[in-house]
């Protein structure tokens, strides 16, 4: 049931206009791209590497690589998607260097089928974020997402934290769309399961530890 895509000439996006100026050697245009996306790249890098210094390196290396390979960017995707792909690869390399005892790849931990099935079904408090102060909540969320395998964490961060579409996530990670969807489902279910114990409704009066 595919719809016929009309072949309408899209107006050049603001992003692509900057990319083209940068390709012609306009460094101010490239700097504008850096400003536009450095926060996102930093977040993604820190989620993957789980280390602030590594994330800082990744931001610098990813933009430098983008700059020096700009003429190879074919404009078939958004510049941002292309940049994320570079940044994810840099971040995974850092992670492998730091944790050489573990094989780190986007394919890890995808073999077992049942690890994400809900084991505990408990309703959460209506406003779970408000059960903790900001620092506590940050700690809970950080530790919980850090416990996910890198392959799941990366898909979840791109899709649900950064808001890339499924297609963009697939492009950025060089995965198929079904592979993205399957990892995303399991990442979401695993996070939910791990957050259960922090966010479930507390029985009134009962010591609920």
Any contact of residue 147 with another protein (CB under 8 A)?
no
Q: Which stretch binds another protein (CB under 8 A): 11-19, 22-30, 81-89, 90-98?
A: 22-30
How far from each other are the two terminal CA atoms of the chain, in whole angstroms? 52
Grouping H, G, I as helix, E, B as strand and the rest as coil, residue 120 is coil
Contacts of 85 by beta carbon, 8 Å cutoff, 6+ apart: 171, 172, 173, 174
Query: Stretches 6-14, 84-92, 97-105, 155-163: which one binds another protein (CB under 8 A)?
Result: 155-163
3-state secondary structure string across 156-203: HHHHHHCCCCHHHHHHHHCCCHHHHHHHHHHHHHHHHHHHHHHHECCC
Instruction: Report which of 175, 174, 162, 165 is spatially closest to residue 45, judged by C-alpha positions.
Output: 162
12 vs 117, beta carbon nearer another protein: 117
Among 26, 39, 107, 176, binds another protein (CB under 8 A): 39
Return the residue of 18, 19, 54, 59 that touches another protein, per CB under 8 A.
Answer: 59
> 183 exposed, middle or buried (CB, 10 Å; 0-12, 13-18, 19+)?
buried
- The yes or no reply on residue 121 touching another protein (CB under 8 A) is yes
Stretch that binds another protein, among 7-15, 81-89, 91-99, 135-143 (CB under 8 A): 135-143
Among 14, 117, 176, 202, binds another protein (CB under 8 A): 117
**What is the C-alpha to C-alpha distance for residues 23 and 68, in angstroms, rounded to an integer?**
10
Residue with tokens 């820190």: 46
Kindly state the number of chain residues that form the binding site for another protein, as judged by CB under 8 A: 48
User: What is the contact surface with another protein in residues (CB under 8 A)?
Assistant: 25, 27, 30-31, 34-35, 38-39, 42-43, 46-47, 55-56, 59-60, 63-64, 67-68, 117-118, 121-124, 128-129, 137-138, 141-142, 145, 156, 160-161, 163, 166, 181, 184-185, 188-189, 191-192, 195-196, 199
């Amino acid at each position: 049931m595919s719809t016929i895509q009309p072949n309408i000439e899209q107006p050049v996006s603001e992003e692509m206009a900057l990319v083209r100026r940068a390709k012609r050697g306009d460094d101010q245009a490239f700097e504008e791209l850096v400003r536009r996306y450095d926060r996102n790249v930093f977040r993604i890098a820190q989620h993957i590497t789980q280390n602030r210094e590594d994330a800082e390196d990744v931001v610098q290396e990813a933009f430098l690589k983008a700059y020096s390979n700009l003429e190879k960017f074919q404009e078939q995707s958004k510049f941002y998607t292309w940049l994320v792909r570079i940044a994810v690869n840099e971040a995974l390399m850092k992670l492998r260097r730091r944790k050489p005892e573990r094989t780190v790849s986007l394919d890890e931990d995808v073999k077992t089928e049942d690890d994400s099935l809900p084991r505990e079904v408990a309703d959460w408090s209506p406003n779970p974020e408000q059960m903790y102060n900001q620092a506590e909540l940050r700690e809970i969320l950080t530790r919980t997402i850090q416990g996910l395998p890198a392959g799941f964490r990366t898909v979840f961060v791109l899709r649900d934290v950064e808001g890339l579409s499924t297609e963009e996530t697939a492009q950025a990670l060089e995965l198929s769309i079904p592979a993205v969807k399957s990892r995303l489902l399991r990442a979401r279910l695993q996070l939910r399961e791990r957050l259960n114990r922090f966010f479930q409704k507390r029985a009134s009066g009962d010591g609920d530890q």
